[in-house]
A and B are shown apart, each in its own frame.
Chain A
Amino acid sequence: MSTFYFIAFLSIFFSILVITAKNPVHSILYLILTFATFTIHYILMNAQFVAIVNFIVYMGAILVLFLYTLMLINLNKESEPQKSSFIKIIGFIAGACFLVAVVAALKAFKTSQLVVLQDPNLGLVKNLGKILFNEYLLPFEVSSILLLSAMVGAVLLATKDPKTT
């Protein structure tokens, strides 16, 4: 039980560091740590497939893409833009108001049952694969088309236009 609260504290701590770190590279490294704590959350819930996919896709693919783009862009620290403190305070107040609204709605419901894992092989690859390829076969194929179109779009956007240069 205390494992969950420790990991939850770590994920909140690292996600605050993500948005407050001055250097964007540090912020990406803190984001990797945040995703690592999320993977531990998934393992604690015995959702093994989601944990592995989160580990490979987010910590492996997406954050390497972020780091690669950041190194390609080569920001120097002097050009790092900062918003004025007035805008920062207003943004913080807006986010805090959103959080207060959600927590107040949560208090109003007063539902606090325990999360109990009824079926121990709920999140295993075998069970999820059966559901994915029986009921959700069409969305699975559509998502492959989505990934193909995203790849074509990214290559098209990132290549230089020969007419303008």
Chain B
Amino acid sequence: METLNHNIQAIPLNHYILLCSIIFSIGVIGVLIRRNAIVIFMSVELMLNSVNLLLTAFSVYHGDATGQVFVFFIMALAAAEVAVGLAIIVMIYRNTNSIDINVLNRLKW
């Protein structure tokens, strides 16, 4: 554990912010360029995880454990979101035989 603590001491906070914003942008690009609804859900999971990593980094940086408690709440929220979202996708597939989001434009007027 001492070597791990020594490892972290050399990393600036900016590099954590840079890493997390790069992964968040990859998630945004994934939502924009894919048409498969499940892959879009996975990009949303990538965004949630990058925010989790940044919250933990700030929590360690400030020496405040509240950030890691919030990561726990975000994970509970993500589990609930995935369960409901995948149930909706299964229902949509049963009705339309496709999970292409361009088929799902019936909500438009």
Judged by DSSP, the binding face of B is: helix
- Bound-state Cα–Cα, A149 to B77, Å: 11
Question: Cβ of A132: which chain B residues have Cβ within 8 Å of it?
Answer: 69, 72
Interface size class of B (residues with CB under 8 A): 35 or more
Residue of B nearest to A119 (CB): B63
Given contacts A50-B72, A95-B29, A99-B22, A65 and B86 within 8 Å (CB-CB):
yes
The residue from A65, A113, A117 contacting B83, defined by CB atoms under 8 A apart: A65
B33→A115 contact, CB < 8 A: no
Which B residues from 25 to 74 make CB contacts under 8 A with A? 25-30, 32-36, 38-39, 41-43, 45-46, 49, 52-53, 56-57, 59-61, 63, 65-66, 68-69, 71-73
A19→B84 contact, CB < 8 A: no
Is B107 among interface residues, defined by CB-CB distance under 8 A?
no
Question: Cβ of A18: which chain B residues have Cβ within 8 Å of it?
Answer: 26, 30, 39, 42-43, 46
18 interchain pairs (CB within 8 A)?
A12-B22, A15-B26, A19-B26, A19-B27, A35-B49, A45-B8, A47-B60, A54-B49, A69-B38, A69-B86, A80-B36, A92-B29, A113-B12, A114-B12, A117-B63, A153-B87, A157-B90, A158-B87
In the A-B complex, the 4 residue pairs with the smallest Cβ-Cβ separation, listed nearest first, are A91-B32, A19-B30, A150-B80, A95-B29
